[in-house]
Amino acid sequence: MSESVIEKQAGAAYPAPAVEELSMQKTINRALADALRADPKVLVLGEDVGQLGGVFRVTADLQAEFGADRVFDTPLAESGILGMSVGLAMAGYHPIPEVQFDGFAYPAVNQIIAQIGRLNYRSRGKLPMPITLRVPSFGGLRAPEMHTESLEALFAHVPGLKVVSPANPHQAYHLMRLAATMPDPVMFLEPKPRYWQKEAVDLAEPGMLDGARIAREGKHVTLVAYGAMVARCLQVAELAAEDGIQVEVVDLRWIKPLDIATLAGSVAKTKRAIVVHEAPLTAGMGGEIAAQLTQACFDLLKAPVERVTGFDVPYPSGDLEDEYVPNVDRILFGIQRVLEYRRG
């Protein structure tokens, strides 16, 4: 419920603000509960999502409140979970399936790409696929193999899918509420390493949820990031500010569709851009963003669009993770490269 404008104008006391300190894990849980409450067709399903509340407890207590018909455990089979979700969507439901960890989306690739991504098309719009696939994503937890993947470019490349990744608890709540009402399939990439960080969340006021968001204003260089890397870029911006470099951080949020207008707007101001992501460099989102920014801002750019990313190697085990995931130093080097770039 939004605050009443009339009350404000009448000078009456403001109602208590709806701002709370919450973790992302908690706000997604709230968003799911509110989505289940708002729409009887919303279902939550997956491995261990019921009584346990999911291995990250993102679905905690939902089964107790909404019953085992609406929040249910499935057998351990990702293709099964996603394929079943397709049929449920055809039957008029809005399934919110979970794959327990990013790497376990791989066994369901046919259902995600060939079925979920194409059924609206195949059926000429008669069989919409309102499915919100929750994927605990990205690294930083020193987890076992396949528990740490960065799948955004894979999903973004697939026609028919929309891809979003919230960077903070506020975004997570509102983007999930939005996704749960969208008639198209949304790959909802939850940054695992950010699950437990508490931040101020305004549950009542979503703000703009379309496209990208300027997470911090600056004028010397634009850092483009999404998901877990937004917090790291904000940290880099703090450090750079000590040296007098004002970094603008753009939180992409929607990886597909890509909000190139907001990015170009930022680059028009800063003239320099660096894309930061955990996924491998080759054919990653960085390449796409660099190409589109070059096209939109070729004359304005004072340096080629830089990329600070993971490497073309499988996501390494915990001990090497800090070498792989863009760290503060590597991002600072990237900033230095674009600031010092001279045309040959």
> What is the contact surface with other proteins in residues (CB under 8 A)?
43, 69, 74-75, 77, 79-80, 82-93, 95, 110-111, 114-115, 119-128, 159-160, 162, 182-184, 256-258, 260
Q: Cβ(131)–Cβ(85) under 8 Å?
A: yes
Distance CA 153, CA 14 (A): 44
Q: Which of 147, 170, 174, 277 is catalytic?
A: 147
Quote the least distance from Cβ 133 to other proteins, whole Å.
14
Distance CA 286, CA 322 (A): 20
DSSP string, 181-250: T-SS-EEEEEEGGGTT-EEEEESS-----SS-EEEE--SSEEEEE-THHHHHHHHHHHHHHHTT--EEEE
Q: Nearer Cβ to other proteins, position 37 or 122?
A: 122
Q: Nearer Cβ to other proteins, position 78 or 149?
A: 78
Distance CA 242, CA 231 (A): 18
Quote the least distance from Cβ 213 to other proteins, whole Å.
16
Q: Nearer Cβ to other proteins, position 124 or 342?
A: 124
Quote the least distance from Cβ 183 to other proteins, whole Å.
4
Q: Nearer Cβ to other proteins, position 126 or 342?
A: 126
Quote the least distance from Cβ 329 to other proteins, whole Å.
34
Quote the least distance from Cβ 316 to other proteins, whole Å.
29
CA-to-CA dists, residue 207 to 2, 9, 264, 333, angstroms: 11, 21, 21, 34
Q: How many other C-beta atoms can be found within 10 angstroms of the C-beta atom of residue 314?
A: 13
Selection from 225, 231, 237 nearest residue 195 by Cα: 231
Q: Nearer Cβ to other proteins, position 109 or 332?
A: 109
In the annotation, is 147 catalytic? Answer: yes
Q: How many other C-beta atoms can be found within 10 angstroms of the C-beta atom of residue 43?
A: 20
- Catalytic residue positions? 147
